Structure 1
Amino acid sequence: MLSHRLRGSLLALLTTTAVVAVGSSAAQADDGIGHVDCSQNPSMPGCEVTAGNPGDPGGASGGSNGGGSGDGSTGGNGNCYWAPVDSGLPPPAGKGPEGGWYARTCRGNGLGWQDTPVWLDQAPGVDLAALAQTARSQLRLPAPRIRTNPDAARMVLVRVPVWLWVDPATWGTRSATAAVPGVTVTATATPTSVRWSFGDGTTDLTCAGPGKPWTPGTEPRAASPCGHTYTRSSAAAPGQVFRLRATVTWSVAWSGPGGGGMLAPLTTTATTAVRIAQSQAIVGSTR
């Protein structure tokens, strides 16, 4: 005999359709590598995907978020599915915080019924790989903040080494989660390298890590561990500037109950203008 609480839960479950709310994607796939638009708000937190109670069980083809699959584990005839229930009981000894109480829920001929709730460590029918991709799409990655010495906001002279690095505030791991009842998957992005494009027609340079900041006391003409020396003026370039671009590659890993792995990497990009001038030699004369 089912309790009044369980009967009420059953009625709600049988009249509620499954809903998965997914926030707007901040990363789009592009030949296996996602790219994050630099116009995004870097302070925007990652969204968490949640799901409501499974409802209509679906047909024999079923679904991964509570629909019947047509096999014995979800009802055999497609009219049964696993539904989360509020049993009022704590997790069994040694269980939790992941997992939850689920009951095999069926309906037919205008009637509905549930089996006795059981504890499941993982929500049935959850595709962890798909949930990991959802978590990846919720990542909010900051655009790289380009730093240079000499300062790119000022005029830079030809043949003077330019030190390049990414501001530490925009370098560091970022995480986002996606969840359905009983299962939470986390995607974590870690910046690994920066590809620098200098705008003067020279070959791009890829540096591991964010680059080394120039510090006072360092010889101004010393070459940077990750930098570039312009050998011609930008006077003939559009706007009389070269476009310095930094593209950060982020490796993405996911973790969840009993699983984990790597996902396709992401990139973020930023650009700044650099004005390069010829140094002027002053020649004096004596009479």
Structure 2
Amino acid sequence: MLLIAAAVTTAPDVAFADDGIGHVDCAQKPSTPGCDLTVEVPGAPGGASDDSDEGSGGAGGNGDSGCYWAPVPGDRPPPAGKGPQGGWYARTCISDGIGSQRMPQWLDQPPGVDVGALALTARSRLRLPAPGIRTNPAGTPFVLVRVPVWLWVDPVSWAARSVSASVPGVAVTATATPTSVRWSFSDGSRDVTCAGPGRPWTPGMNPRAASPCGHTYLRSSASAPGAVFMLRATVTWSVVWSGPQGGGALAPLTTTASVPVRVAQSQAIVGSPR
């Protein structure tokens, strides 16, 4: 079995989301230039492999999630005793973010395409941005106890993303759309889940008004690790696929980001009587 070598590099605020097969987190690494999955098949095609149990045509998926038959390019002649019909195909699979490909086999009939497996491959290639956390007050240098904090996700990171996967003659597109965000505060309070990205605070609004999606800290962060509370946003993305045979829903994805928030207790100043 030949393994496809997969190289992953990272970029700031970009992540391979949790895909249900494996998790590749490319966020929080600003020192590297990209977040790309590149695939390389080593070696030259050989003869028919010993893995004859993979079948000789017909079902493209053969019951394996994330697997499909791919034609081998080139004008390689058929094996001895085979007619002009058929061709060389290689069994290709994606699992845990790593591709694998078996030695090419001669198939008397072109295999059918497993569109469901192709949809899973497209889903595994989705690169989703880490949520851009925005607050008011901004948290620098601190926010005050009992002052409502407005929370929202930057619109730049709140937009649908699509990617396609294809074999000759068939292409499938997977589209991820952000739907909700769960906020965690690490101050002992319950998480808050909001539909949509949240509403930005704009100048002219009452700074003490409660946010439609926000939080009010009730204690100082002075005794917390590093004297800060970690504000965490987890965005859920719905995923659907579309292709020549229709489409449907796939398992959702999530992306996460965190920022430190320093919370201070306001001190009343009492003047001494004269």
In 1, Cα distance between the equivalents of 2:22 and 2:81? 49
> How far is 1:146 from its partner?
0.5
Q: Which has the higher Rg, Structure 1 or Structure 2?
A: 1
Residue 113 (1) aligns with residue 49 (2): no
State the 1:155 CA deviation.
Answer: 0.9
- 5+ residue gaps, structure 2: 9-14, 60-68, 87-109
Distance 1:219 1:284, change over 3 A: same
1:285 aligns with 2:272: yes
Aligned positions of 1:37-48 closer than 5 A: 37-39=26-28
CA contact (8 A) 2:17 2:253 kept: yes
Change (3 A) 1:70 1:133: closer
Report the CA distance between 1:126 and its aligned residue: 1.2
Find the aligned partners of 1:206 and 1:82 in 2 and give their Cα distance. Answer: 43
Q: 2:117 is matched with which residue: 130, 133, 140?
A: 130
d(CA) in 2 for partners of 1:222, 1:62: 64
Partner residue of 2:245?
Answer: 258
* Contact 1:195/1:248 (8 A) holds in 2: yes
Residue number in structure 1 paired with 2:57: 69
**Does structure 1 conserve the Cα–Cα contact (< 8 Å) formed by 2:26 and 2:35?**
no
CA distance in 1, matches of 2:224, 2:70: 65
- The 3 A distance-change label for structure 1 pair 234 and 206 is same
Taking the aligned partners of 1:162 and 1:270, their CA distance within structure 2 comes to 18
Distance in 2, matches of 1:283 and 1:271, equals 38
Residue 165, structure 1, aligned to residue 136, structure 2: no
Equivalent residues of 2:58, 2:112 under 8 A apart: no
What is aligned with 1:153?
140
Are 1:208 and 2:173 an aligned pair?
no
Q: Residue 26 of structure 1 corresponds to which residue in structure 2?
A: 16
Determine the structure 2 residue equivalent to 1:101: none
Q: Which residue of 2 aligns with 1:191?
A: 178
Q: Secondary structure at the residue paired with 1:131?
A: helix
Q: Deviations over 1:198-254 (max 9, x none)?
A: 110100000000000000000000000000000110000111100100000111111
Which residue matches 1:96?
none
- The 8 Å contact of residues 48 and 179 in structure 1, kept in 2 or not, is answered as no
| SS of equivalent residue, structure 1 residue 134 | helix
Root-mean-square deviation over aligned CA pairs: 3.7
The aligned amino acid for 1:215 is: T
2:190 is paired with a residue of what secondary structure? coil
Secondary structure (helix, strand or coil) at the match of 1:220 reads coil
CA 1:45–1:182: 2 relative to 1, 3 Å:
farther
Pairwise mapping of residues 219-238 of structure 1 onto structure 2 (< 5 A)? 219-238=206-225
The answer to whether the 8 A contact 2:240-2:248 is kept is yes
TM-score (norm 1): 0.67
Following superposition, the deviation at residue 61 of structure 1 comes to 3.3
The 3 A distance-change label for structure 1 pair 23 and 263 is: farther
Distance in 1 between the 2:112 and 2:272 partners? Answer: 88
Distance 2:111 2:54 in 1: 12
Structure 1 portions without partners, runs of 5+: 1-17, 72-80, 87-104, 116-122
* Structure 1 residue 156, shift from structure 2 partner: 0.6
Equivalent position SS for 1:195: strand
Asked whether the 8 Å contact 1:36–1:266 carries over to 2, the reply is no
Give yes or no for contact 1:49–1:177 (8 Å, CA) kept in 2: no
Shift of 1:282: 1.2
Instruction: Tell me how far 1:154 sits from its aligned partner.
Output: 2.2
